[in-house]
Amino acid sequence: MKVSCFSLIVMLTLMFLGYASHSQSIGALKGGVVKLSVVKKNGVGETGSGILIGVQGGKMYILAALHTVEDHSSIQVNLYEQSFSGSAYVNENIDRRNDLAVVIVNYQTAINNILIFDEGETQSLIPSNQVFTIGHPNNFPWTDSRTQIKRKMGNFIVANKTPLIDRGNSGGPVINQSGELVGMVTEVSNTEVKALKIDYIINKLREWSIPYKLRIPVNFCPVLQEIVTGAWDKFEGWGNGNVMPSKDGGSQLKPKKDISGIGQSWLMWGDRKGHVRYYVEFPSSTDEATAYRDYQNLIKDIDRCLTNAPRRNISTHESDRFSTHWSVEIRSKISFVKGHVWIWLRKGIGNFTLEIYRESP
């Protein structure tokens, strides 16, 4: 698709006059966005965007809008400011209702300086919050735009359309002011931009066993420190929502302080362990080598957050291995002690669990 002279003039004018203040910071994130040039089986060409989510074992994993890549005869993937060769195909798992797909590229040449976004949390997003997009509107490459959220709607964020958001942005990122990924564009109308929330996407990637970067929110340390020193074991303003039964036979409540950033935190009590626990799940890669590296990084993060907290290795050599009828699960445990607070970290298949509780007086 060719860019008209009028569209080109409008885009260039807005880029230089209206958006100069953020172009440098957003420009640094363009390496996490790819250009998808798709030829459909009926011979029609289409341009879309994609979000890099992982590179592993000679494969590159890219989030894409299903309507862009569906019924393709070929997909050409272009990286930002570097060349490579490879063959692309669409993963067999798709989410047609929410327009979500994963493009996998088998690449043959070396790739460098791959940027993978940190994922941001979406719960605190409200109307009028400023967000940014990067994509290829009307085939104009790696174009960024600033816009505002209008509303949240189920699994979606809806923002205002701008002249620099159009066809070709589908599959591209929506980024918060901290430079974190909060959504993927799925639809652009005359007035609005619709984007699928990143927390929904992460749950789908886990379900599909797609490798992706471990997500640790930027506020990990402050929240962890506040949880360790706070009064959450007495439910003093820490609960949020209704009490529900837990999987261990007790009760659980969503906390106001969510250390996972994607709603995977709970306050639990009344189970066989007999104490109030702050329980967190972090998703991880299903690839064992990648998951173990991320596990070690998470240990370092806790060490860094809780200075002078003695660590007790319980089974970091992973001797606690057992088989099930469908897989072999490797569990590894480590604990930190800070005052009368215990922190347990365990590694399983596709996730890490973190438990925080206080010793009985």
What is the arithmetic mean of pLDDT over 120-124? 84
pLDDT of residue 159: 97
Q: How confident is the model at residue 136 (pLDDT cuts 50, 70, 90)?
A: very high
What is the arithmetic mean of pLDDT over 189-203? 93
Q: How confident is the model at residue 37 (pLDDT cuts 50, 70, 90)?
A: very high
132-168 b/e (C-beta count within 10 Å ≥ 16 → b): bbbbbbbbbbbbbbbbebbebeebbbbbebbebbbbb
104 pLDDT above the threshold of 90: yes
Provide the residue ranges of all domains of the chain, joining segments of one domain with +: 220-358
Dump strand ranges (E) for 99-210: 100-107, 130-135, 143-153, 156-160, 173-175, 181-188, 192-197
**Digit-coded pLDDT (tens) for 149-184:** 999 999 999 999 999 999 999 999 999 988 889 999
Q: How confident is the model at residue 226 (pLDDT cuts 50, 70, 90)?
A: confident
Token pair, residue 288, equals 């064992």
242 pLDDT above the threshold of 50: yes
**Digit-coded pLDDT (tens) for 5-21:** 655 555 555 444 444 44
Token pair, residue 137, equals 């509107």
Q: Which residue did the predictor score with more confidence, 117 or 310?
A: 117
Q: How confident is the model at residue 50 (pLDDT cuts 50, 70, 90)?
A: very high
127 Cβ neighbours under 8 A, 6+ residues apart: 148, 149, 150, 151
Q: How confident is the model at residue 334 (pLDDT cuts 50, 70, 90)?
A: low
Q: Rounded to whole angstroms, how far apart are CA atoms 49 and 195?
A: 13
| pTM more than 0.75 | no
Q: Which residue has the tokens 């929506």?
A: 174
